[in-house]
Amino acid sequence: MRRVFTFLLLAASTAVATFWMEDIAHQGIATFNPDKNYAVFRNVKDFGARGDGVTDDTAAINAAISSGNRCAGYACIGSTTTPAVVYIPSGTYLISSPIVSFYYTQIIGDPNDMPVIKGAPNFPSHAMALLDANPYMDNGKLNFAATNVFFRQLRNIVFDTTAIRGPATALHWPSSQATSIQNCVFKLSNDYEEGHTGIFMEEGSGGMMSDLVFYGGQYGARFGNQQYTMRNLSFYSSQTAIDQIWDWGWTYKSLTIVDCQVGINMSSSAVGSVTLLDSYFANVKTAVITGRNPGNTTGLGSLMVQNVEYTNVPTVLEGPDGESLLLGDPNGSVYDGGYVRGNLYAPYGPKVFEGRDIRWNQPSTLKLGDKYYERSKPQYENHPVSDFVSARDFNAAGDGLTDDTAALNRLFETAAANVSKIVFLNAGYYRVTDTIYIPPNTKAVGEALGAVIMGVGAKFSDINTPHPVVQVGRPGEVGYVELSDLIVSTQGPTAGAVLIEYNLNTPAGETTCTSNNPPSGLWDVHIRIGGFAGSQLQLGECPTTPDIENVVEATCVAGYMGMHITPTAGNLYMENNWLWVSDHDIEDHNNTRIDVFVGRGLLIEGTRIWLVGTSVEHFTLYQYQLVNASDIWMGQIQTETPYYQPNPPAPYPFSQLNKELNDPDFLADCLGGTYTNNFSTVATGGASHQTSTENPPCAMAWGLRIVGSRNVMIFGAGLYSFFNNYSTNCSTVASGENCQARIFSVQQDGNYTSAGNSLYDAETVQLYNLNTIGSVSMITRQDIDMAAWDENLSTFSSTLAIFRD
């Protein structure tokens, strides 16, 4: 009887279709790894893991991660040459000590039957976590500097700590750009006294998490990081769902918090701001705890909440002394259109604002139902392997030497002709000498974040003739695409390269989104310029030159623009995208700084674009620029000014202005010394910024520049300028945060009444929770600097809660 039962169970489980990623031919290569036998794809079962819930699988899983002389330990703090997909088939994997992840690792479970990583009863309670993605070394430091942990993913895993008595953490995840966790479950002890935690993250520079479910725990999650975007997280029966350890800015969207004592505890004085949208709390004693007392005039603990329902929640917001600042209903539902607590500029300020039930314009064009549109990265889990076409099967070598232009163009053209086909770009560097055209109807996914399309050569080399490396649709073209897990790069001097030109207009619902006519999507599609093996833009070629005045090596001018979303483009959802001009050489043992120059960051001229968890760093003229754009959703955007500026100052070496692209004119705006500020009319803080504004350089890259655009909704922005000529002395309170004069500009082309009100029926720009570092002015409106950093002192950053224009 027992045997038959087992047999039936086996038969049933083999009947479940395996995930395509498990079965597809694994032809990915680590192009610039000298070991030609290096394996990118690793199935833990090939390393002896059993997944039977009984065998101790710790060593086998760790072997799958570590094999191939990969980057970890004292010997390596970063490398792009050892990317890996560690695949975990369905099963229950018992572990007795931590699984330790390495640099550039994707840990992916079978989404159709998610594997369980289960801590054995003897799992040591002093251990960091079931999965330690960045272990502390004997010297007390993390293996990988948290702010340099890039290119890492975790998907489709169930973590289970319930068999462990005493403290336990499922996941330790100090992380930064181009990292994501998607579709994971955390099963923690329901006994709060045990002290279980789902995710512990104490530092880093921000990434993306989505579709996570937490059960039990003293803490569902404890989050500390500079900034982050998190979407669709659910917590059931945790004592505290989210313990906000520290942040400058944080955007939560679509949280569900049920049967918890506390929803979000953000009372620490190290919390700069939290933005919370489209969420639901039920049977929660206290939804949010703030450390910010009423009337507090600092930027600390700024909070913006919009579209949240509370059912059986006695206290919506609790103050620092345990008092109820906003009441809920212990026996019913309360709906909140929105509340904000922090400093307001509308457009002038600051004014302490503590309003409730705010219902400012929320463009319906950006919503599906009553929530802002959101959509997770497709994993194609219902597709058989036969639906996939691999780059290697189209003779794209991906070896960094062969010219793969024709092969890739043929691959995309062929796949787009059949709506069922999905392009699989095997890991490898695809060297291309001309544009790769991605037609409407393309679905494509890369392997290991190691599939890199790399533009090189003459077509991309003229600083005055921009030429796309990847072009999505031709101007005016209509259609739909889905792209994920890809990197677009350049090699050597390519001053004319536009890494991605996006032209496509996708038909989608006109007034609100519809699920069956979705916007196109780019998930984990990144731009990386310089600082990696094979780029020919590393420490050897592009060392910094602080001691030489205004020198730029022509061989280190490596791009015209990161990404251009052109005027004909519309209906595009972007999630977790990092556009990075490297500031350091990832392969170097000390992550030594380098100087690479790329003109423009992300230019948006289109309409109806969502940017969910994106960042743009170190471009010369600007990071984000919006020109005549409309219906734009930006949620926790993040920027950094190039570390070398003002040596040389912007726009050098891109001194040829492109008027068609509305390039900022630094010569006119700054070098004539004509810029003015309106700080002296502000009620408070006059004295201190008189000294701080003495000599802040103005000819510096904009973090965000908005020109003549409408319905721009920004839910969290971190615009940072840490350096002048490689020194951080300027990004301090003592120096007056004077790395640069200004960083955020709104210029609406004279579309104002004489009283200064917008001519538009609705606000043109709404920005919530702006955090800046190293910029004297936080807002420059119509060329006038008007929000001084010291009007809104907060954490290491200055924080203002609302800017409305």
Ligand X SMILES: *[C@@H]1O[C@H](CO)[C@@H](O)[C@H](O)[C@H]1NC(C)=O
**What residues make contact with ligand X under the rule CB under 6 A?**
183, 211, 213, 232, 240, 262, 265, 267-269, 289, 291-293, 296-298, 300-301, 330-331, 343, 348, 350, 352, 374, 376, 386-387, 418, 420-421, 546-547, 549, 589-590, 607, 628, 630, 647, 678, 681-682, 684-685, 708, 725, 727, 729, 749, 751, 759-760, 784, 791-793
Query: What minimum distance in Å lies between the beta carbon of 434 and ligand X?
Result: 27
Query: What minimum distance in Å lies between the beta carbon of 54 and ligand X?
Result: 28
What tokens does 280 get?
Answer: 């639901």
Q: How far apart are CA 140 and CA 642, in angstroms?
A: 30
Asked if the bond preceding 378 is cis, omega within 30° of 0, the reply is: no
Q: How far apart are CA 43 and CA 697, in angstroms?
A: 53
Rank residues 380 and 702 by Cβ distance to ligand X and give the closer one. Answer: 380
Query: What minimum distance in Å lies between the beta carbon of 798 and ligand X?
Result: 8
Please answer whether residues 449 and 487 qualify as being in contact, where contact means their C-beta atoms are separated by less than 8 angstroms. yes
Rank residues 628 and 658 by Cβ distance to ligand X and give the closer one. Answer: 628
Rank residues 400 and 518 by Cβ distance to ligand X and give the closer one. Answer: 518
Please answer whether residues 279 and 249 qualify as being in contact, where contact means their C-beta atoms are separated by less than 8 angstroms. no
Q: Which long-range CB contacts under 8 A does 4-10 form with residues at least 24 apart?
A: none
Query: What minimum distance in Å lies between the beta carbon of 55 and ligand X?
Result: 28
| Cβ contacts of 4 within 8 Å, gap of 6 or more | none
Rank residues 466 and 518 by Cβ distance to ligand X and give the closer one. Answer: 518
Rank residues 239 and 489 by Cβ distance to ligand X and give the closer one. Answer: 239
What's 45's DSSP letter? G
> How far, CA to CA in Å, does 102 sit from each of 81, 142, 180, 197, 531?
12, 12, 15, 22, 19
Query: What minimum distance in Å lies between the beta carbon of 470 and ligand X?
Result: 24
Radius of gyration of the chain (CA): 25
Query: What minimum distance in Å lies between the beta carbon of 231 and ligand X?
Result: 8
Query: What minimum distance in Å lies between the beta carbon of 141 and ligand X?
Result: 13
Rank residues 61 and 245 by Cβ distance to ligand X and give the closer one. Answer: 245
Query: What minimum distance in Å lies between the beta carbon of 63 and ligand X?
Result: 28
Rank residues 98 and 570 by Cβ distance to ligand X and give the closer one. Answer: 570
Asked if the bond preceding 653 is cis, omega within 30° of 0, the reply is: yes
Q: How far apart are CA 487 and CA 526, in angstroms?
A: 5
Query: What minimum distance in Å lies between the beta carbon of 573 and ligand X?
Result: 12
Query: What minimum distance in Å lies between the beta carbon of 461 and ligand X?
Result: 28
Q: How far apart are CA 803 and CA 778, in angstroms?
A: 10
Rank residues 49 and 230 by Cβ distance to ligand X and give the closer one. Answer: 230
Rank residues 289 and 581 by Cβ distance to ligand X and give the closer one. Answer: 289
Q: Which helix (H) or strand (E) holds 686?
A: helix 686-692
Please answer whether residues 130 and 119 qualify as being in contact, where contact means their C-beta atoms are separated by less than 8 angstroms. yes
Query: What minimum distance in Å lies between the beta carbon of 492 and ligand X?
Result: 23
Which residues, listed in sequence order, are joined to residue 353 by a DSSP beta bridge?
342
Coil, helix or strand for 785? strand
Please answer whether residues 412 and 391 qualify as being in contact, where contact means their C-beta atoms are separated by less than 8 angstroms. no
Please answer whether residues 321 and 332 qualify as being in contact, where contact means their C-beta atoms are separated by less than 8 angstroms. no
Q: How far apart are CA 135 and CA 598, in angstroms?
A: 34
Find tokens 């639901």 and name the residue. 280
Please answer whether residues 309 and 335 qualify as being in contact, where contact means their C-beta atoms are separated by less than 8 angstroms. yes
Secondary structure of 430-486 in HEC code, one letter for each residue: EEECCCEEECCCEEEEECCCCEEEEECCHHHCCCCCCEEEEEECCCCCECCEEEEEE
Which of 249, 248, 199, 247 lies closest to 219 in space, CA to CA?
A: 199
Coil, helix or strand for 11? helix
Rank residues 443 and 618 by Cβ distance to ligand X and give the closer one. Answer: 443
Query: What minimum distance in Å lies between the beta carbon of 370 and ligand X?
Result: 13
Query: What minimum distance in Å lies between the beta carbon of 644 and ligand X?
Result: 9
Query: What minimum distance in Å lies between the beta carbon of 11 and ligand X?
Result: 27
Q: How far apart are CA 421 and CA 427, in angstroms?
A: 19
Residue 701 burial (10 A CB sphere; 0-12, 13-18, 19+): buried
Rank residues 49 and 88 by Cβ distance to ligand X and give the closer one. Answer: 88
Question: Phi/psi at 8 (nearest 5 deg)?
Answer: -65, -40
Query: What minimum distance in Å lies between the beta carbon of 784 and ligand X?
Result: 5
Coil, helix or strand for 657? coil
Rank residues 479 and 685 by Cβ distance to ligand X and give the closer one. Answer: 685
Rank residues 120 and 661 by Cβ distance to ligand X and give the closer one. Answer: 661
Q: How far apart are CA 568 and CA 478, in angstroms?
A: 9
Query: What minimum distance in Å lies between the beta carbon of 540 and ligand X?
Result: 12
Rank residues 179 and 296 by Cβ distance to ligand X and give the closer one. Answer: 296
Query: What minimum distance in Å lies between the beta carbon of 265 and ligand X?
Result: 4
What tokens does 352 get?
Answer: 């302490």
Rank residues 100 and 325 by Cβ distance to ligand X and give the closer one. Answer: 325
Query: What minimum distance in Å lies between the beta carbon of 469 and ligand X?
Result: 26
Rank residues 100 and 504 by Cβ distance to ligand X and give the closer one. Answer: 504
The angle subtended at Cα 462 by Cα 460 and Cα 465, nearest 5°, is 90
Rank residues 457 and 648 by Cβ distance to ligand X and give the closer one. Answer: 648
Rank residues 96 and 628 by Cβ distance to ligand X and give the closer one. Answer: 628
Query: Going along 650-781, which residue ranges are E strands?
Result: 676-677, 702-707, 710-720, 744-747, 765-773, 780-781
Which of 309, 306, 365, 312 lies closest to 337 in space, CA to CA?
A: 306
Q: How far apart are CA 57 and CA 63, in angstroms?
A: 10
Residue nearest to ligand X (CB): 301
| Cβ contacts of 704 within 8 Å, gap of 6 or more | 622, 623, 624, 625, 626, 637, 639, 717, 719, 743, 744, 745
Which residues, listed in sequence order, are joined to residue 171 by a DSSP beta bridge?
131, 199
